[in-house]
Amino acid sequence: MRKHVYGMRPPVAEITRVALAVADAGREPSRGPDEQAMTASDVFEVLAQPLRRRSSCSIDDTVVSLMDAGELTLPNLRFVRHLGEGATGSVSLMRIADTDVVVAVKTMNKARLTERNKQRRLLMEHAVLTSSQHPFVASLYCTLQTEREVHFVMEFCPGGTLAEHLVEHGTLRESRVKFLAIEVITALAYLHSMGCTFRDLKTENVLLTVDGHVRLTDFDLCAMQDGFVPTVRTTRTLQKTASCFLSRSHETINHRFCGEPTFRTNSFVGTEEYVAPEIIRGGHYGPAVDWWALGILLHELAYGVTPFIGYSRKETFDRIVNDEFAPPSDSSTTTDFEDLLGRLLCKDEAQRLGSDNGAEDIKSHPWFRGVHWALLQSEDGDHYRICQNNMERSRLVPSP
């Protein structure tokens, strides 16, 4: 399992000759007085507050009914099997007593969280999960607590993670990669529109539902811009047409949604093979780090390996900062796909695809030609024609 790198930027000599711009890396921007004053007990008190009722196509109505009936409690959960370990706790599959309903339960030890000073990360994950209402973002049903532990009761995704799928089945065909990319991009665009930069996109953090849809998960490394409001950019283009008799001017007005947070930080967080070069260099960075990570993710899905991996963390970081992207020489992927990767894996954050208008720039890339993005915003839930293989769609069209 890949390890996080958090708040411990390596010395310059171990990575690259590029000087680090910030000496006190690893710190988030200053917090407000309320957050600074919060104690561990305050954090767990916040987690104990009931969630507001939400309506989402990824919320299981049966689970909601059990919650309303007071039956979603720890004594009513039966252990089925262990699902995995995370940076802050373990995840188990649980069945609700006297039902066939299963849920994923993320369990975290309060004392360990306090000792490692990770209460803030716990609060961040809770804030993102309780604020999100999107079909491609994991759903939190409720939080349960004991004196020693806190439990996140969440939607169970039987398909496991993309990382597990790669281990079991190997690389994906380009058509499958495109399907997954469409949903991941849509989820990232949604998070960005909330003012949230993910900062930990990787195959381990993309879950698959039973019908092959994605769910992003693990939001403890997110950076949130409070009070962020997406904007619409308006551009005007004046076109002149002339003939031998007269000259006319026609003004074209274009409106473009922009949901990229303006918040920037210099914290050294992420997963080793996925961190963007601006994070390693030590400067301030913004949401474009998520579009870099998207490029790494697509590369790993298509080719089975991340593009800049080295034999050590030192070598990996050095290659991320200094090596230019080049597709594998024996690849059979299309030139459009390889061009998309090259533009996402641009070392210059300002020139990276998505750095200006976010997902809107990426959606207009030729690799996505013919995709009906508007259908992804449908309220109908499953709005795709699903192929027999639950990891692939033949085309994005409304269901009959």
Check residues 24 and 275 and name the one with the higher pLDDT.
275
What's the pLDDT score for residue 384?
39
**DSSP state letters, 79-126:** EEEEEEE-SS-EEEEEEETTSS-EEEEEEEEHHHHHHTT-HHHHHHHH
pLDDT digits (tens, 9 = 90+) for 104-116: 999 999 888 888 8
pLDDT digits (tens, 9 = 90+) for 193-228: 999 999 999 999 999 998 889 999 999 999 999 888
Check residues 258 and 13 and name the one with the higher pLDDT.
258
158 is written with which tokens? 């039987």
- The mean-pLDDT minimum among 141-150, 222-231, 297-306, 357-366 falls in 222-231
Cα–Cα distance for residue pair 307/213, rounded to 1 Å = 25
What's the pLDDT score for residue 359?
93
372 is written with which tokens? 């009906």
216 in Cβ contact with 134 (< 8 Å): no
- The mean-pLDDT minimum among 143-147, 166-170, 229-233, 379-383 falls in 379-383
What's the pLDDT score for residue 60?
67
172 is written with which tokens? 């994906």
What's the pLDDT score for residue 373?
87
Which domains does the chain possess?
A: 31-154 (3.30.200.20), 162-228+260-377 (1.10.510.10)
Check residues 344 and 3 and name the one with the higher pLDDT.
344
Cα–Cα distance for residue pair 136/242, rounded to 1 Å = 50
- The answer on pLDDT for 32 being more than 50 is no
- The answer on pLDDT for 354 being more than 70 is yes
208 in Cβ contact with 214 (< 8 Å): yes
**What average pLDDT score do residues 383-396 get?**
36
Nearest to 293 by CA among 209, 197, 182, 156: 197
What's the pLDDT score for residue 113?
86
Active site positions, annotated: 200
pTM: 0.81
- The mean-pLDDT minimum among 154-158, 243-247, 304-308 falls in 243-247
What's the pLDDT score for residue 87?
73
Q: Where are the beta strands (DSSP E) in the chain?
A: 77-85, 90-96, 102-109, 140-145, 149-154, 196-197, 206-208, 214-216, 223-224, 231-242, 247-258
What's the pLDDT score for residue 102?
92
% the chain with pLDDT above 70: 73
What's the pLDDT score for residue 95?
94
73 in Cβ contact with 152 (< 8 Å): no
- The answer on pLDDT for 264 being more than 60 is yes
Residues forming beta bridges with residue 60, ordered by sequence position: none
pLDDT digits (tens, 9 = 90+) for 133-182: 899 999 999 899 988 999 999 999 999 999 999 999 999 999 999 999 99
393 in Cβ contact with 176 (< 8 Å): no
Check residues 197 and 66 and name the one with the higher pLDDT.
197
Mean per-residue pLDDT of the chain = 80
| Of the ranges 7-11, 238-242, 332-336, 380-384, the best mean pLDDT one | 332-336
Cα–Cα distance for residue pair 344/399, rounded to 1 Å = 32
Antiparallel, parallel or unpaired: β 140-145 and 149-154: antiparallel
- Residue 334: partners with Cβ closer than 8 Å, 6 or more residues away: 174, 367
Cα–Cα distance for residue pair 185/35, rounded to 1 Å = 31
Nearest to 364 by CA among 208, 153, 189, 123: 189
Residues forming beta bridges with residue 94, ordered by sequence position: 79, 103
- The answer on pLDDT for 96 being more than 60 is yes
Nearest to 342 by CA among 397, 299, 286, 302: 299
What's the pLDDT score for residue 255?
57
Residue 324 pLDDT grade (very low, low, confident, very high; cuts 50, 70, 90): very high
Residue ranges of alpha helices (H) inside 235-287 are: 277-281
